[in-house]
Structure 1
């Protein structure tokens, strides 16, 4: 986390810990983490940024729908990264069936 450069850190409620929040504050990174209900003081967070997390989760779900990526069948890192690139191309480019 020391070398992390970001404007915001998006995570779900499981990451709502004082230690992580202190590290993010020290690094001057905005914490976009909804507080757990058991917190005495509920802190504010950006709901718009948190909604963007949904898009990221959907990309990971779409990547893992390919069995080879989900089970890490590729033995070499380069082959695994290539499979991710191919899958991303399939997700990004429109598919025309005739």
Structure 2
């Protein structure tokens, strides 16, 4: 997965022949990530995607994320 720039977060099954490394810190705190996306979806413009352009939509996500993470 490294050739695609993807970081593995979910641990492999124990019965696999080739075990892969994963980020243990991110795996132990999935509730924080889920809670962040739940708060992000509370903003109507993000949930309904008013901005159809990808640049404007990403800018909106950055703005809302900064509002959520500041307090």
Provide TM-score, normalisation by structure 1.
0.52
Give the corresponding residue for 2:4: 3
Change (3 A) 1:5 1:29: farther
Name whichever structure is richer in strand by fraction.
1
**SS at 2:9 equivalent:** strand
Give the corresponding residue for 2:34: 57
Give the corresponding residue for 1:36: none
Does structure 2 retain, via aligned residues, the 8 Å contact 1:10–1:53?
A: no
Give the corresponding residue for 1:39: none
Query: 15, 21, 26: which one pairs with 1:29?
Result: 21
Structure with higher Rg: it is 1
Provide TM-score, normalisation by structure 2.
0.67
Query: How much is the aligned-residue C-alpha RMSD, in angstroms?
Result: 3.2
1:78 aligns with 2:55: yes
**SS at 1:9 equivalent:** coil
